[in-house]
Structure 1
Amino acid sequence: MDMVTLGAKGISVSLDLAVGHIADMQVEADGRTLKPLHRAPWVGSPRESLPQDIPEGTVRLSGDFLCAPFSSSDVEAAPLHGWTANSQWDVVENGAIPGGWRAVFRLRRKVMGAAVDKIFTLRDGHPFLYQEHIFSGGSGAISVAHHPMTSMREGGRLAFSPKRIAVTPPTPLEPDPARGRFRFAYPARATDLTHLPLAAGGTTDLTDYRMEDKREDFITLVEADHGGPGWTAIARRAEQDLVLVLKNPAELPVTMLWLSNGGRDYAPWSGRHLGVLGIEDGRAAMGHAASLGDNWLKHEGVATAFALAEGRSTSFRHVIGALASAEAEAPAGIETARDAMRVLAADGTAKDVPFDGEFLRIGRSVPA
């Protein structure tokens, strides 16, 4: 069995146990079925039709998955984004709880000697998946990131909790014009997300995802000190919904954005990976060794790995959700309370939805 599905009133989530990717997420809202997460167009193609050297996590690229480490596994041998994104998970628990559903999955392999558990919780009437990952034991340190992906047929508008800076890497993802293309300047740094430097000169508005911009781009946003949960909101025009991704910044202090819109010409991408945005909340630099070493984020006072130790557990939490919305604009703000989320529009109106505000509670004990 490679797929397991769990559900509560108004929501269902399916996990691909072969690689730990969310294969599907559906939210019932206003008589519609919202599907906030992306699945690569080649998933399900015969394996022999795909390049033989790509990892299983790329073969089955879907939804959201845990990266441990994020990017290159250059400390302990593993594929891109680690075994958590490329190998088998087992079902430990899966069943109803009062007011919802809970499932626990365990990675068959260990990461830096640590056992890894994935916990999904769904609550009746809540349009959110509540996730927790727990590393038990091990040694050394591990960088981590979630990797939720959404896709847009006609682009969309983005909004974020307050960010301190936005920084692109020293080199683009696709520097060879024979293989792909990019738009951002590399390296670049900005404090205004609406004025990010471009390679061709001038600036672009990071909050506007435009479909005509064929490119692969990557940028890291560092959370500002604002005392609330970190969040990203994507108002998808054609889909008429609002995709929401939330975190505790004390656990996951950076949000890395992957803009993948037909910018890779080689297989399996072949120019057909369109309108995709990865919202990669993490505690990481680019690569495991870089995360453990002297990197630019550490100079900014940002942690880039969790310490592991025998007899110790390390955990972090994350939330993905979707709301129906006919508005083409992203929200002006998001506020959370104990049992609700308030989504604030630019015109001053607000929408309240059920939300477990304690799940990401700021001030929750976080391992150093």
Structure 2
Amino acid sequence: MDTSTIKAQGISVSLDLTVGHISDMVVDADGRRLKPLHRAPWLDEPRETLPRDLPEGTVRLSGDFLCAPFSRSDVEEAPLHGWPANSAWDVVESAATADGWRATFQLRRKVMGASVYKILSLRDGHPFLYQEHVFSGGSGAISVAHHPMTAMKNGGRLAFSPKRFAATPELPLEPDPTRGRFMFAYPARAADLTRFPAADGGVVDLTSYRMDHQREDFLTLVEADHSGPGWTAIAREAEDDLVLVLKNPAELPVTMLWFSNGGRDYAPWNGRHRGVLGIEDGRTALGHAASLGDNWLKREGLATAFDLAEGQSLSFRHVIGTVPLSGGEPPRDIATSQGRMRLGFTDGSARDIPFDTDFLRLGESIAR
């Protein structure tokens, strides 16, 4: 595997240059080594043992990657989740800075005629990876999403920034019972995230990731109006840590959750892809064509693509981090100001973490 690794005090991140996936992220804190991101169980298996028609992004599935477009590539020919998730990236520059490390990578292919850049930054003493993606030039429009994945040995608890509602698409990921199974009702919608409709007529608590339910499920969370960052927090029980994923809701207005817990019975999944949660912050509908046309998210007032134009560039930012956490309960709220992130918990306690409060550009207007 061709990788590029960047480091700062207390944190290191490696990028798999063959497909642009973050293959490893390690945070050193309180004498522990925290690894918040997932690696597919078949990553070290010979390629010839995997299905021949498998996209390279699935062959090398790990960590986080850029989807452009998200899901189906049905406007410009490309694999699932587009070329940024399935083809090679080159190192443009990678060097230590006064307070950490900064690296820029360029996708060898173009997307809708645009050059695509990935900028990864680390800060000394910050338990976060700060990411920015830039599209330069091109024409038409592109839907995008980040695709971070974490994995839990014994489940965990979830919390979110304020959401308007959660909704499942028309069809489940695995509708054929001979190939897999699912737990949510499709289609369904709920404002109460602790009582989402289930396929059996009951309800499911979206704030609890349980390991006793083998399923593949997917839903979309629509951000509510608020002045802070969009965030997802996962308190992993066995790992005794807290995984944090943050965005600017003006750039990436939806968070899509992929619950992958042994719900696919065919290769390479074979029931062994367990305890995985994808936290997929995006500006997208399901598929490139759907994102560009009329879709249910547009009818809710949300943008589902960025416009591209020759001589112009656009960018969006994203943050992934992790800290030690005992007790298994995620924060009730998250606030950022003056170089700190404050985690507020239900028992009234709070915890401050170093954080680049300017990075997400909250409050700035985003071109539609």
Q: Any runs of at least 4 consecutive aligned residues in structure 1 with deviations exceeding 6 A, and if so which?
A: none
The 2-side partners of 1:212 and 1:67 are apart by 30
> By how many angstroms is 1:165 displaced?
1.1
What is aligned with 1:89? Answer: 89
The 2-side partners of 1:263 and 1:203 are apart by 19
The 2-side partners of 1:42 and 1:320 are apart by 24
The 2-side partners of 1:327 and 1:336 are apart by 23
The 2-side partners of 1:227 and 1:364 are apart by 11
1:172-321 correspondence to structure 2 within 5 Å: 172-321=172-321
Q: Which residue type is aligned with residue 292 of structure 2?
A: L
1:40-59 correspondence to structure 2 within 5 Å: 40-59=40-59
What is aligned with 2:24? Answer: 24
What is aligned with 1:10? Answer: 10
What is aligned with 1:364? Answer: 364
The answer to whether the 8 A contact 2:29-2:323 is kept is yes
In structure 1, the gaps of 5 or more residues are none
The answer to whether the 8 A contact 1:44-1:60 is kept is no
The 2-side partners of 1:178 and 1:91 are apart by 43
The 1-side partners of 2:94 and 2:356 are apart by 20
> By how many angstroms is 1:50 displaced?
0.2
Paired residues, number: 368
What is aligned with 1:109? Answer: 109
> By how many angstroms is 1:365 displaced?
3.9
The answer to whether the 8 A contact 2:227-2:363 is kept is no
What is aligned with 2:75? Answer: 75
Q: Which residue type is aligned with residue 185 of structure 2?
A: A
Deviations along 1:179-221, whole A, 9 cap, x unmatched?
0000000000000000000010111100000000100000000
The answer to whether the 8 A contact 2:134-2:315 is kept is yes
What is aligned with 1:325? Answer: 325
The 1-side partners of 2:221 and 2:161 are apart by 10
The answer to whether the 8 A contact 2:172-2:182 is kept is yes
> By how many angstroms is 1:130 displaced?
0.2
Q: Which residue type is aligned with residue 291 of structure 1?
A: S
What is aligned with 1:339? Answer: 339
What is aligned with 2:147? Answer: 147
The 2-side partners of 1:362 and 1:61 are apart by 31
The answer to whether the 8 A contact 1:228-1:362 is kept is yes
> By how many angstroms is 1:330 displaced?
1.2
> By how many angstroms is 1:338 displaced?
2.6
TM norm structure 1: 0.99
Deviations along 1:83-127, whole A, 9 cap, x unmatched?
000000000010001110000000000000000000000000000
Q: Which residue type is aligned with residue 127 of structure 2?
A: P
The 1-side partners of 2:261 and 2:180 are apart by 11
> By how many angstroms is 1:361 displaced?
2.5
